[in-house]
Amino acid sequence: MVRRFRTMSMFTTPQPAIRELDHRTNDDIEVRLLWNSWTNEVFVAVADLRSGELFEVTVRGADALDAFRHPYAYGASSLLPTISTGAA
C-alpha cells in the first residue's frame, strides 16, 4: 500500500484580518495605524507604555494619515458625549 503525504505547500495559512500599515514610538507613546481587511475599517491604536493606558479610534480612510499623526485629536473627539437636541 502506497501512502501519499501532503506537503506543506498544500496547506494554506489564513491571512490575518488586521494589518499594520504604519507605526511609531516617541516618548513611550506607541501609535499604530491598522487596517482590518475583512471589514475594510481603518483605525489608530495608541498605547502609553508608561501608564499602560490604551485607546483605539476608527477613522475614515481619507483621515487615516492625519489621525495617525494626531491621534489624541481624533481620540478626544470620539470620547465626547453625544448631545441630544430632544428632537425625535
Q: What is the pLDDT of residues 21-36, one digit of tens each?
A: 999 999 999 999 999 9
What are the domain boundaries of the chain?
A: 15-77
Q: Residue 84: is its pLDDT beyond 70?
A: no
Q: Residue 74: is its pLDDT beyond 90?
A: no
Average confidence score pLDDT of the chain: 80
The band of 82, judged by pLDDT with boundaries at 50, 70 and 90, is very low
What's the pTM value of the predicted model, to 2 decimals? 0.70
Residues 6+ apart with CB under 8 A from 72: 46
pLDDT at 38: 92
Give the helix/strand (H/E) hosting 67: helix 64-69
Position 57, amino acid = V
